[in-house]
Structure 1
Amino acid sequence: MSISQEVLGDERGTLLAFVEAQRAALRQAVEGLSEEQAAGRHSASELSLSGLLKHAAQVERNWLRMAQQQPYESTVETHLNGFKLLEGETIPSVLAAWEGISAELAQFVADLPSLDETFPLPPAPWFPENHKVSMRWMLLHLVEEFARHAGHADVIRESLDGTKAMG
């Protein structure tokens, strides 16, 4: 998030601005790259830049669906395929889908009576049993998730062509 960006003074606006700042860092990591460059492994990691974009969009969609208490597909296969572009998927298509998800999240958060509202976490080995989290927690988790992967993207991009996120 650049200092010149206006951040809304309320908690919702501030949290959404931090989520967006981390989304932007991930999007910037692929700017100017071909599909092949973005899909390549350019560091010791198995991660690719296009895979990180797709994963972040999938994570945001899944958390939004959990918060809305709507079904979503979460299998080992969808998780593994979430780190690579499949036949017919492109960086522009992933970015367009993510833009729609992001707009849906912003509207959902704007319509909430309170960020203290909670939702149950689904049964999964990585979640505590019978646990609920608040909408505030979810937004902070998205900041954490995207920031982690923006760091991965920085390393991958610098390994690819020397481009650094901070100049």
Structure 2
Amino acid sequence: MAQASTEVPGDERGTLLAFVEAQRTAIRESLLGLTEEQAASSPSASELSLSGLLKHVAECELSWLRMAQQQPNERVRDEKSWGEMFRLVEGESIPGLLAFWDGVAEQTAAFIAEVPSLDDSFPLPPAPWFPQDAKVSMRWMLLHLVEEFARHAGHADIIRETVDGTRAMG
């Protein structure tokens, strides 16, 4: 749940960023106290792991930020398989991905603070799941990040409870 804070402006931008951060925190906290091996395990019916979810959401946020900025995404790799998007590969670690995601979060907050209006829009890329020639607003992007992170925070809760019995809500 997003917490009210004296550090976050109570305006729409601050409120949306607080909800994005609340969902980031839920995912981050699902990894607390686990080894890399435990975090990489897939103990439920799906192939998802906690470290894989972390990688996915961090890269997902960067992707949406770069689309909004209308800049190329420096982390896009050609022909990345589904498995590589949801699991750590050689050279990747939980601390490294957490630091990467912190940097992306800072960039997102700075970008949103500077954008003239949350109504400003950017084009969606061609994809079968997007309408052709569609544009979305900065507000839509932030709400989409809340949706994306919340969905995966729920996955993370189930995985973590399966790994060691730890429950997000006590």
Query: TM class, shorter-chain normalised?
Result: over 0.9
Report matched runs for 1:128-143 at 5 Å. Answer: 128-143=131-146
Shift of 1:81: 1.3
Question: What is the distance in 2 between the residues matched to 1:166 and 1:4?
Answer: 19
Aligned to 1:47: 48
Correspondence for 2:86 among 80, 83, 103: 83
Shift of 1:78: 5.8
Question: What is the distance in 2 between the residues matched to 1:79 and 1:113?
Answer: 36
Shift of 1:42: 1.3
Aligned to 1:164: 167
Q: Aligned pair in 2 of structure 1 residues 5, 49: CA closer, same or farther (>3 Å)?
A: same
Aligned AA (1:98): W
Q: What fraction of aligned residue pairs are identical, expressed as a percent?
A: 66
Q: Aligned pair in 2 of structure 1 residues 110, 78: CA closer, same or farther (>3 Å)?
A: farther
Question: What is the distance in 2 between the residues matched to 1:104 and 1:164?
Answer: 31
Which stretch shows the higher mean deviation, 65-74 or 114-123? 65-74
Report matched runs for 1:1-167 at 5 Å. Answer: 1=1, 3=3, 5-6=5-6, 7-72=8-73, 73=76, 75-77=78-80, 79-167=82-170
Shift of 1:75: 5.0
RMSD across aligned positions (CA):
1.5
Question: What is the distance in 2 between the residues matched to 1:118 and 1:109?
Answer: 12
Q: TM-score, normalised by structure 1?
A: 0.95
Aligned AA (2:58): A
Shift of 1:82: 1.7
Retained in 1: the 8 A contact 2:124–2:130? yes
Any unmatched runs of 5+ in structure 1? none
Question: What is the distance in 2 between the residues matched to 1:2 and 1:11?
Answer: 13
Which stretch shows the higher mean deviation, 75-84 or 40-49? 75-84
Retained in 1: the 8 A contact 2:27–2:153? yes
**CA offsets, 1:46-104, max 9 Å, x none?**
00000000000010000000000011226551654120000010000000000000000
